[in-house]
Amino acid sequence: MNGGNAQVGRTKTHNVRFYNLTPRSIQSMAYNKVWHKLAISRNDGSIEIWDMQHASYLEKVIPKSPGNSVEGMVWAGERLFSVGLTGELVEWDLLLLKPRRKQFVTGNAIWCVDVNSTGTELAVGTEEGYINIFDIDSDQMQYKQLFDKQEGRVLCCKFDRTGEFLVTGSVGAIRIWDVKSGHALHKMTVSRAEKKKEVIVWSLQVLNDFTIISGDSSGQVSVWDGKLATHLESHQVLKADVLAVAVNEEENMLMCSGIEPIIRIYAKTKIKRDDMEYYCWVKYLQRSVHDNDVKALVCAGDRIFSGGMDGYLGISSASKRSSTISKYGPFLKNPCVAVSNKSRLLLLRYTNYFEVWRLSSTDGRPQLVAPPEDKKVQKPKHKSKEAERRMLALNTAPEKLLEFRSKNDEPIICATISPDGQWLCYSTQKSIRLFRFLPSVSRKNDTQLARVKGLPEQFVTASHIIFSSDSKRLFLVQPTTRQINIFSIVKNGSTDLDFVESIETSKHIKDVVNLFAVSECGTYIVAAGADRTIAVWRIFEGKHFKHHLNMPRYSAITTALAIHAHEPRLVAAFSDGKIIEYDLEEMCFTCSEREYFVENAETHCVSNILLDSRNVNNIVLHNDAYLYVLEKVLDTNGETEYDNDDSEPTGKKVGKKLKRTESDSKVSGLRLKFKKSYEHLISLSWLSTDELVAVGVNPVTLIEQLPDAFKQKKFGTA
C-alpha cells in the first residue's frame, strides 16, 4: 500500500484463519416483493432479515430463543409471522426484534403456514392433522376457525388466488379444502406406481388458474388440476426427496430442489401434436449452487433465492441470459471481531461465546517455504506489485488466551475489547456484562476476567458497544429505545464506571441502528439506521453531545461507514455500490464516485471501511471476496485524472454509472490502487499504523462439519 506521492509506506497484514464458525442450516424463507426483504430462518431458531433491493445486505437479526424453532414464515404486508415445533404462531416486532404476539394452536407442533392473497387470513398445519385459520386483518391476530381433523400431519399448505380454497400436503395425499366450511372437498392420492407405496408431499405451489404443483419424497414433481382434482403430469426430477418447489411471478417457470443439491428449472411450453395443442412443463436448465440438501426456494423476478444444510444463501439466475451465482455464508452480523491495538489482542465472537487471542509480531524475516522438488524457482522477469508482496515469519505463534461462554448459552448480540486491552464488554438480549482483565501471575496461559459489579442503572443491554480510542469512555446503543448511553471509565474510585449522558436518537432514526461509529478524537458520533438515515452528533462546548446533522437520505441502505482520524470527514458505502465522503463541518460532499470499483458490487456490498492515518486520500474497504485500496483524485471537467504511475491500472470499468451527488469542482473521484482476493473476508481492522488484521473463514471448514450429501453412483467412479 502506497503512503502517497512523497513517501511510500508498507502495510503488514495478519491473515487470521482460525475463526471456525459452525454452519447453521437454512430452514425456510419468505420474500416481501414490495419492500424487497428476504426473511431467512436457521436451524438454531434465529431469523435474519436481508435487504435485497440492491446487493444483498444482512439488515437485522432476531436471535434464537430457548427451545424455539422456525419451520415456516410468511409476510403479510410489512408484518412477519412464523411457526415452529413449539406449537406457537408468532408475529415478530421488526423494530424491537422480539415477538410482538404469540398464540398457541390446536394440534401441537406446526409444520407450515400460508397467508391468503389479501393478507387477511392465515392458515397453519399441525402435527396432529389440524388446520387452524387466524384472522390477521386490521393489525390483529385472532383465532377464527378449525378445519376437520385429517389423518397424519399437515406438512405444507397453500391458499389459492381467491382465498376460498386451501391446498394441503401430507403423507400420501393432497387435499383441497373449502375455507368457509372447513371441510375437505377432494383428496388426491400420491404413491409410487411400481410399489404402491405412499410418499410424503413436502412442498406445494398453487397457480392462479388453480393448477397445483407438488414435490414429494419419491423425487417427483407432479402437476394437478385443482378444479377437477385430477393428475396432469409428473416428472422424476431427483432420485429422492423434493423438499422445495417455487414458481416465478409469470408462472411460466418452475424451480425445484431437495436432497440432491441441484436446482432444476422447468419451463411451461406449448406442445403441438397432431391437431392438438396443450401445455406441459419441459426441463429448461439447472443450477449447481449448494453442496448439500436444499430446503428452501424463492423466486423473485429473475433471481432464485435458495438455502439449505450448508447454511449458504444462494442467489442464481432463472434464465439463460445470465449464469452468475452469488453465495453468502452463515456468518454473524458485523461487527463480530474486535481488536485491542496496544495489547495486540483479538476478540472473535461466536453465537454464544467468544475467544480472545494474542497476536504475534514479526521482525521482517521472510517465511521459509521449501520449493517443490520437481520445479525450479524462477525469478520474475520484471518487478511488479505481486513480486513485492511476500510472506513474513512470525516471532511466535498466535496464542489463545481464553474462551468465554455467555450465561445460559444466550446468544451474544455484541462484544468488544478496549484498545488498551484492560476491559471487555458483551451483551445478550437479557443482560450486559463488563469485565476487567487480570494480568497473568505466571508465564503460563492463565489470563482471567474479573466481572465489574455495582454498575450504573443506565448500563443496560446493547446492540452496539464501542470504547473510545483512549479507552476512557464506553458507548452503548440501547436496542429498545435506540438511546446512546455514554459512560466514563474511572480507574481510581468507588466504581469503575460513571454515567455521563444519554443521547436520544428516536427523532432522527426511526428504525434499528445498523451501524455505529465514534471518531478517534471523540468529537463525533455517527449512527446509520435501517430506514436509510445517517445521523451525526457533535460534542458541544466540550461537555455534552448535541445533534449536528442528518446526511441527505440516499435510496440504498448504508452498509459501512468510517470517520477520518484527523479530519471531520465521514466515508460511507451503500448497497448499490455508491461510495461517498462527506465533510461534517462544511456539510458538503468531498468525494463521490460515479462507477463501480468493486468487481462484484452488484451482488456483494462493502462490509467494512478503514481510513489510512498516514494518507487521508487512501480508503481501504472490503467485501466478502475482495480487499480494495482506493485513492481520491481531483475530478476536473467531469473526468478523473490518472497521473500516478505507481498505481495499478483500473482496467475495464465495471458496472453501471452512478450519478454524482455534487457537481462542485471540489468533489473528488476515486481510482483503484490495490486489489486482493479473499475467501470469505469477514473483518478488517488496524492493529497499528502499518499493520492490518484480516479475519477470514475457510469454506472448507464449513463443509467439513456438514453431514454427507446425497450419495449417487456415477459412471467410472468407485
With pLDDT > 90 as the criterion, what percentage of the chain qualifies?
68
* Lowest-confidence pick of 21-35, 172-186, 692-706: 692-706
Question: Could you give phi then psi for residue 327, rounded to 5 degrees?
Answer: -135, 145
* Lowest-confidence pick of 11-15, 53-57, 141-145, 344-348: 11-15
Residue 12, judged by CB atoms within 10 A of its CB (0-12, 13-18, 19+), counts as middle
Contacts 24+ apart (CB under 8 A), 521-525: 521/469, 521/565, 521/566, 522/468, 522/469, 522/470, 522/473, 523/568, 524/548, 524/563, 524/568, 524/570, 524/584, 525/475, 525/484
Q: Is the pLDDT of residue 660 over 80?
A: no
- What does the pLDDT read at residue 597? 59
Contact 1, 673 (CB under 8 A): yes
Residue with cell 480510542: 469
Contact 431, 461 (CB under 8 A): yes
Most confident segment among 318-332, 443-457, 464-478: 464-478
Q: SS3 for 386?
A: helix
Residue 665, judged by CB atoms within 10 A of its CB (0-12, 13-18, 19+), counts as exposed
When comparing pLDDT for 645 and 274, which is higher? 274
Model pLDDT for residues 587-634, shown as the tens digit of each residue: 998 887 655 556 677 889 999 999 998 888 899 999 999 999 988 887
Q: Is the pLDDT of residue 440 over 70?
A: no
**Mean pLDDT on 506-527:** 95
3-state secondary structure 490-533: CCCCCCCEEEEEEECCCCCCCCCEEEEEECCCCCEEEEEECCCC
| Listed residue (385, 390, 384) closest to 368, CA to CA | 390
**Mean pLDDT on 371-386:** 45
Mean per-residue pLDDT of the chain: 86
Q: How many CB atoms lie within 10 A of CB 10?
A: 11
- What does the pLDDT read at residue 559? 96
- What does the pLDDT read at residue 210? 96
Grid cell listed for 414: 455484541
Taking the complete model, does pTM exceed 0.75, yes or no?
yes
DSSP state of 350: -
When comparing pLDDT for 182 and 441, which is higher? 182
Domains of the chain: 1-15+511-711 (2.40.128.630)
What pLDDT band is residue 635 in, cutting at 50, 70 and 90?
low
**Mean pLDDT on 663-678:** 75
- What does the pLDDT read at residue 444? 55
Query: CA–CA separation, 288 vs 314, rounded Å?
Result: 10
**Mean pLDDT on 440-466:** 82
- What does the pLDDT read at residue 12? 86
Grid cell listed for 73: 414464515
Grid cell listed for 323: 449464469
Q: SS3 for 488?
A: strand
What pLDDT band is residue 550 in, cutting at 50, 70 and 90?
very high
When comparing pLDDT for 639 and 99, which is higher? 99
Query: CA–CA separation, 463 vs 425, rounded Å?
Result: 12
- What does the pLDDT read at residue 158? 97
Q: Is the pLDDT of residue 372 over 90?
A: no
Per-residue exposure over 635-651, b if at least 16 CB sit within 10 Å of its own CB, e if not: beeeebeeeeeebeebe
When comparing pLDDT for 14 and 255, which is higher? 255
DSSP state of 362: -
What pLDDT band is residue 5 in, cutting at 50, 70 and 90?
very low
Model pLDDT for residues 115-125, shown as the tens digit of each residue: 999 999 999 99
Residue 546, judged by CB atoms within 10 A of its CB (0-12, 13-18, 19+), counts as exposed
- What does the pLDDT read at residue 80? 97
DSSP state of 56: B
Query: CA–CA separation, 29 vs 272, rounded Å?
Result: 38
Ordered DSSP codes for 91-136: EEETTTTEEEEEEE-TTSSEEEEEE-TTS-EEEEEETTS-EEEEE-
Model pLDDT for residues 672-697, shown as the tens digit of each residue: 888 899 989 999 999 988 899 999 99
- What does the pLDDT read at residue 4? 37
* Lowest-confidence pick of 72-76, 201-205, 434-438, 535-539: 434-438
Model pLDDT for residues 404-438, shown as the tens digit of each residue: 999 888 999 999 999 999 999 999 999 999 999 88
Q: Is the pLDDT of residue 657 over 90?
A: no
- What does the pLDDT read at residue 385? 46
